[in-house]
Amino acid sequence: MAEPGLQRIERSPLYEVVAARLQEFIDGEKLEPGDRLLPERELAERLGVSRTSVRQALTAMRVMGLVEVRPGAGTYLLRPPADLVSGLASEVAKAEVDHPMIWEVREGVEVQAARLAAGRRTAADLEAMQDALVAMARSIDGGGDGVDGDRLFHRAIVLAAHNDLLTHLIDELAEVVDRTSQVSLTLPGRAPRSLQAHGEILAAIEAGDAEGAAEAMRRHIAESAESVVSR
């Protein structure tokens, strides 16, 4: 029977779900920075998952700066979960869309996503990118701004990177990223240029050219940023 504050997971979860349960447990138990978490084996038993899933979840939380794993001593809480990615997202979301900070974050995350996608994309990933560009082109040809297709294209690249932490970060920033894209694409002449840039990014990803994809994405983000900041 699961202990109060730590709900048992009834079916095989992704490690992100395990991490979410651990974060709920940390909040529910009101653990403070410096407190020691339960051992991996006990966490696995209480959650009803494998130790591997728990280990992966703890690794993700360590990368996020939430916990510290001390060999032979256990895992210790460094910061409350709410202090990190969601906090970053909320602060960025408060900024104006022409704030350089937003575009710097987009460049750092999306350039890496494009680089990884070039080496990891599947046939289904490529099809999703192609469908997104078709949708964007149809919108633009019909006098629209292509925002929905743009969103789908960038999302498809992130998913093609097959990096769950990267996807989580993008999800946390989705609202502010959408705002920047909407502002950019509604500027005169910007939508067709963005569509062309997307085609260049896709071509590099299809060719498996990691650095070419990264550079094409960097150039695209930089040009979009310049169009918004200089408006």
pTM of the model: 0.60
Examine the domain organization and report whether 98 and 62 are in the same domain: no
Which domain does 101 fall in, by range?
85-229
Sign of CA dihedral 82, 101, 215, 177: positive
Kindly indicate the confidence band of residue 27, based on its pLDDT and cuts at 50, 70 and 90: confident
Query: 11-15, 113-117, 123-127, 214-218: which has the minimum mean pLDDT?
Result: 11-15
Q: How many C-alpha atoms does 16 have within 13 Å on its Cβ side?
A: 7
The pLDDT tens digits for 65-79 are 778 888 888 889 887
Examine the domain organization and report whether 104 and 210 are in the same domain: yes
Examine the domain organization and report whether 119 and 215 are in the same domain: yes
pLDDT on residue 101: 72
Examine the domain organization and report whether 154 and 107 are in the same domain: yes
The pLDDT tens digits for 124-164 are 999 999 999 999 999 999 999 999 999 999 999 999 999 98
Examine the domain organization and report whether 69 and 113 are in the same domain: no
- CATH code of residue 94: 1.20.120.530
Query: 8-22, 29-43, 83-97, 109-123: which has the minimum mean pLDDT?
Result: 83-97
Instruction: Identify whether 188 is part of a domain.
Output: yes
Instruction: Identify whether 192 is part of a domain.
Output: yes
Amino acid identity of residue 130, one-letter, is: Q
Q: Both ends of the chain: CA-CA distance in Å?
A: 60
Kindly indicate the confidence band of residue 1, based on its pLDDT and cuts at 50, 70 and 90: very low
> Would you state the structure tokens that stand for residue 199, as one six-digit string?
């085609």
Final residue before a domain boundary, out of 29, 52, 80:
80
Instruction: Identify whether 6 is part of a domain.
Output: no
